[in-house]
Chain A
Amino acid sequence: MKLSKLNTLAIIAASVAATATFTASASSISGNVEAGKSKAATCLACHGEGGGKPIAPEYPILAGQHPDYILAALQQYKSGKRKNASMNGFAAALKTQDMKDLAVYFAAQPSPLRSKY
């Protein structure tokens, strides 16, 4: 009886893991656009309205960017793999869920960015 319960648990765990892997590979990030909007005030000071109008030419447009790229950039800034005095500081204060929310928020904004050429 114990063994079959364990087996059931193992099957559930495996299917959850498989679902998680699938979600990640489909690059659907479990973020919330509205939550991201409320967390984006700091970002907009430099990246502009909706992340689409940066205040300086060397700052990137974030609006419309791929969400998993934004998430990866924030994680790299937090870990220190990617270095930028401003961004390292901002990212250090973010939790993973904050990053996901910001990523889906910026990805959803109107943008001049295109992935092809």
Chain B
Amino acid sequence: MKNLFSKPVALSFACTVGFAAAQAPAVTPAGDPVAGGKRAVAVCSGCHGVIGSKTAFPEVYAVPKIGGQQSGYIYAALKAYKSGERNNQTMKGLATALSDKDMRDVAAYYAADGGQGK
């Protein structure tokens, strides 16, 4: 039993971590698309699920299409809104209410759904 974490396993784990670290931001977040779907319907779809939605004054433009978008990008965007690095009042408010798991789930939902809708 003690040999469970044998040297080769430990080494390959270290290599994997090392590889991931070398590619630092390029990580596809693991998330639960089913849980994310429930969150997304409640939080996101009021704007992102309505065709023709625009951002609020003063900068008015179409809210982006996110169905089918890359999960890594959606996750990074949500984190940036929550931290304030990315500046949009509406998205900051919504992202602040999301946990890290929520963000991963929502990202997985939009990426996996491919925007086909249900």
Which chain A residues have a beta carbon within 8 Å of chain B's beta carbons?
27, 54, 56-61, 64-66, 68-69, 71-72, 81-83, 111-117
Contact = CB atoms under 8 A, between A and B. Distances in A.
Interface of A is mostly: loop
A111 B68 contact: yes
Interface residues of B, number: 37
Contact of A57 (B59, B61, B67, B71): B71
Kindly name the residue among A27, A57, A64, A81 whose own CB sees the greatest number of chain B CB atoms within 10 A.
A57
Contact of A69 (B63, B67, B68, B70): B63
Interface in B61-95: 61-73, 75-76, 85-87
A66 to B, nearest CB: 4
Contact of A60 (B45, B59, B69): B69
B6 interface: no
**In the A-B complex, the 6 residue pairs with the closest CB atoms:** A114-B115, A57-B72, A66-B62, A114-B67, A112-B68, A58-B72
A81 B59 CA distance: 12
Nearest to A112: B68
Given A58-B70, A58-B76, A114 B61 contact: no
B61 A54 contact: no
A71 B65 contact: no
Kindly name the residue among A58, A65, A71, A116 whose own CB sees the greatest number of chain B CB atoms within 10 A.
A58
Interface of B: 23, 25-28, 40, 45, 48-51, 55, 59, 61-73, 75-76, 85-87, 113-118
A106 to B, nearest CB: 12
Contacts of A115: 48, 51, 65, 67, 115
A70 to B, nearest CB: 9
A28 B32 CA distance: 37
Contacts of A113: 65-69, 115
A115 B68 CA distance: 9
Contacts of A60: 69-70, 73
A59 B73 contact: yes
Contact of B49 (A27, A56, A112, A116): A116
Contacts of B49: 116-117
